[in-house]
Amino acid sequence: MQSRARNRIVRRMKDAYSLILSAIDNGIYRPGDRLVESELAERFGVSRTPVREALQRLETQSMLKRDGRSLIVATLDHNQLAELYTVRAELEALAARLAARHATPEEIRVLAGMVDEDHKILGDPQALSRANRRFHHQIHLASHNRYLVQQLDLVHRSMALMARTTLAAKGRDTVTLDEHQEIVDAITLRDEARAEAALRRHISMAFETRLKEEARLTSESSPDA
Ligand SMILES: [Zn+2]
């Protein structure tokens, strides 16, 4: 009985944690937004204790930070952004290499199908951003390495701390799908080196786009400088 009650508490905590995390991931809460325990409890229909524990866990994971007495969704500074993209490029490139080696024919067909389907949502940055995440997650799974999948999940969790998607940048959506196509082609050919290089180039282009967007937004918000 006791352990069943304990399991129930652990499950509620996990629910509150994943609910808050996906709300950040989906942009319901954006970097800089304040998270209030009572509001979260009400929004998600859970009691305050699991919410409080979930918030503590997210703070430990640097997803939230203290601002006086309140907790806000963390933002990434320029250095963190560069550090994150460096790790992401290496891990994603490794995933692509392993996917070229280990993906099943079914997994490759799913990847190819995703790129085809995603052409239908060009012009919708939010939908493309979700599709992009699905595409990359599919490559992670096709690597057939659970430790790599775990590490990439951590990287993608921190990616949620970027306020906006680079897919909204002019022309980036079409180019992104071309790059995805190159990755799928290399995996289909079982060309490990080419898959790795294509994915590394893709992440590098995404990072470059982000830096340009950041620079553009900074100059817009301080017209005197
Ligand atoms: Zn992508």
Where are the CATH 1.20.120.530 domain residues in the chain?
78-221
Residue 209 dihedral angles phi and psi, to the nearest 5°: -60, -45
Answer for the pair 89, 165: CB distance below 8 angstroms, yes or no: no
Residue 132 Cα to ligand 1 midpoint, Å, equals 5
Query: For residue 61, with 0-12 CB atoms within 10 Å meaning exposed, 13-18 middle and 19 or more buried, which class applies?
Result: middle
First-to-last alpha carbon distance for the chain, in angstroms, is 65
Distance, in Å, from the CA atom of 29 to the CA atom of 44, rounded to the nearest integer, reads: 13
Does pTM surpass 0.85? no
Report how far ligand 1's centroid is from the alpha carbon of 38 (Å).
37
Distance CA 105, CA 60 (A): 40
Location of each CATH 1.10.10.10 domain in the chain: 2-73
Q: How far is the CA of 163 from the centre of ligand 1 (A)?
A: 17
33-49 residue pLDDT tens: 999 999 999 999 999 99
- CATH architecture of residue range(s) 78-221: Up-down Bundle (1.20)
* CATH domain 2-73 topology: Arc Repressor Mutant, subunit A (1.10.10)
Angle at 45 between CA 69 and CA 133, to 5 degrees: 80
Q: What is the mean pLDDT of residues 160-172?
A: 83
The model's pLDDT over 42-88, given as tens digits with 9 standing for 90+, comes to 999 999 999 999 999 999 988 999 999 899 999 988 899 999 999 99
Gap from CA of 35 to ligand 1 centroid (Å)? 30
> Ligand 1 centroid vs 129 CA: distance in angstroms?
9
The Cβ of residue 5 has, within 10 Å, a number of other Cβ atoms equal to 9
* Interval between CA 45 and ligand 1 midpoint (Å): 34
CA separation for the pair 215, 65 (Å, rounded)? 25
Q: Please give the distance, rounded to the nearest whole angstrom, from the Cα atom of residue 213 to the centre of ligand 1.
A: 17
Interval between CA 105 and ligand 1 midpoint (Å): 21
pLDDT per residue as tens digits for the range 171-181? 889 999 999 99
